[in-house]
Amino acid sequence: MSEFQILIVCGSPVALSELSPDARRALAFARLLGREFRVALAAPGARDLADSESFERMNWAERQAFASARFDLGIAGVNDFGGRWIPFASRWIADIWRLDSYRAFCAARAGALVDWLWLRRAQRKAMRALRKAQFLLCASGPQLDFWIGGLYATGRFRDRLPYGAEHLNDLGAFVPFGWDDAFEKAADAGAAPPQASEPAIVWADALDEHLDPYTAIRAVKRVARERPGTRLAIPVEDDEQGLRPSAGRGAPASVRAYARAQGALNECVTLAPGAVADIPRLLAGAQLAISLSGHPLENRYSFRTRLLECLRTGTPLVCVEGGFWGEFVTEHGIGRTAPMGDSDAVAAAILSALDPHAQDQCRANMAKAREALRWERAAAPLAQFCRREQRRIRAAKEAPHPNKQPSAA
């Protein structure tokens, strides 16, 4: 085992049955890099992980211990989405920053002065932290371009790249979400064949304000005219009183009101009470998954991690063209894409994807698509950077000190 030491910090619990995206990625990085380097994972619940893990585990309460520890590289996550940060990371870890951050909501937030102030503070704080980083990890290629451009704009580099980098690609990498062997085994088990009692189509994402279930509702209403019995199930959070009476675009109450106004509620659209965690169960019996982005910047910059469940269950996907998933679906032939907000085009994409021949073809392509997002392949740029740093640090240690006199013969 290499003596090259790496510290990975995550602010989310890593020992739960349902992990957050941050926790899933931190755990995957620790397992992948732990095969080759000495790795420590510092996160809530880390010591509850199995002793068989290939890395050292530190609980969140022990962060003072690893604050003074000596590590060759540190990996931490930064999330300015909503103003949330890991408060201590910028002080103690300054090598690799994992970013899922972009200004998708500048226009939406521009209506109030406080939002402008929030944006400026988040921007300044991000750039102060990132000026220390040697390497950036982003979940999409456009995110990486955004942050490297930001570093240039703030004067991080001008005529020459920092840290001896020869190319812009040496400053960061596009590392999407992936999965490990456990995920692959679940996929290999195969999805249950669609049942007549199951909805043909499942909304495969949350009801966030930047997503567009409304176009999906209009499109399915059109599809149902040609294919009677076609239904769209939209999972929504529930509580003791039933659907949460939350307000705003994307909220269950808003989606329900829209479906009722379209005459689609309980006809071809059903709101399935239950947590978003139920999506995999619904997908396992569905013919088609759908997730439509409603914001151009969100579509371009984001990586919708929940859509990985479509690959796990082998369910063909309809999504908006462009962005990571639009390109991935087209490249691997696992579904159909349509322009944003065009319900007629979405309806045509749904009808095409529901064709029996298209269903067989899309499902046959799933194995190859899953292979493209295994962690070993997705996180390869991170491992390559760590090897490069290991060689650099080793060479620096072995180089003679400039003030040291050669020994007499």
pLDDT higher than 70, residue 92: no
pLDDT for residue 86: 41
User: Do 181-372 and 5-178+374-394 have the same topology in CATH?
Assistant: yes
- Render pLDDT for 204-235 as a digit per residue (tens, 0 to 9): 998 888 899 999 999 999 999 999 999 999 98
The whole-angstrom separation of Cα 45 and Cα 54 is 16
pLDDT for residue 153: 73
- Render pLDDT for 347-384 as a digit per residue (tens, 0 to 9): 999 999 999 999 999 999 999 999 999 899 988 998 99
Nearest to 239 by CA among 255, 257, 252: 252
* Angle between the N-to-C axes of helices 356-364 and 343-354, in degrees from 0 to 180, rounded to the nearest 10: 80
The whole-angstrom separation of Cα 356 and Cα 341 is 26
What are the CA-CA distances from residue 93 to residues 7, 98, 205 (Å)?
8, 12, 33
The pairing of strands 201-203 and 172-174 is unpaired
- Tell me what percent of the residues of the chain surpass a pLDDT of 70: 70
The pairing of strands 56-58 and 38-42 is parallel
Nearest to 28 by CA among 182, 189, 187, 185: 182
38 and 30 Cβ atoms separated by less than 8 Å: no
**Strand ranges inside 62-207, DSSP E:** 73-78, 96-99, 135-138, 172-174, 201-203
The whole-angstrom separation of Cα 95 and Cα 300 is 27
Give Cα 214 to chain centroid, integer Å.
Answer: 23
- Tell me what percent of the residues of the chain surpass a pLDDT of 90: 33
242 and 201 Cβ atoms separated by less than 8 Å: no
pLDDT for residue 30: 93
CATH class of 181-372: alpha beta
pLDDT for residue 244: 41
Q: What are the structural domain ranges in the chain?
A: 5-178+374-394, 181-372
pLDDT for residue 70: 72
- Render pLDDT for 294-332 as a digit per residue (tens, 0 to 9): 988 888 888 888 899 999 899 999 999 999 999 999 999
The pairing of strands 38-42 and 96-99 is unpaired
Give Cα 211 to chain centroid, integer Å.
Answer: 15
pLDDT for residue 75: 80
The whole-angstrom separation of Cα 69 and Cα 12 is 21
Number of Cβ atoms within 10 Å of the Cβ of 324 = 23
Non-local (6+) Cβ contacts of 33 within 8 A are: 6, 8, 39, 55, 382, 383, 386
Domain 5-178+374-394 has CATH 2.60.40.10: no
101 and 126 Cβ atoms separated by less than 8 Å: yes
pLDDT for residue 127: 63
Among 194-203, 246-255, 316-325, the minimum mean pLDDT is found in: 246-255
* Signed CA dihedral, 54, 91, 23, 322: sign only: negative
Q: How confident is the model at residue 112 (pLDDT cuts 50, 70, 90)?
A: very low
Per-range mean pLDDT, top range of 170-174, 277-281, 359-363, 375-379: 359-363
pLDDT for residue 305: 86
Among 5-9, 220-224, 249-253, 345-349, the minimum mean pLDDT is found in: 249-253
Backbone dihedral angles phi then psi of residue 405, each to the nearest 5 degrees: -80, 140
Q: How confident is the model at residue 250 (pLDDT cuts 50, 70, 90)?
A: low
Burial 115-143 (b: 16+ CB within 10 A, else e): eeeebeebeeebbebbeebbbbbbbbebb
Number of Cβ atoms within 10 Å of the Cβ of 401 = 6
Backbone dihedral angles phi then psi of residue 46, each to the nearest 5 degrees: -65, -35
pLDDT higher than 70, residue 199: no
What are the CA-CA distances from residue 332 to residues 313, 317, 320, 327, 335 (Å)?
16, 11, 15, 9, 8
> Which two structure tokens, joined as six digits, stand for 139?
């979940």
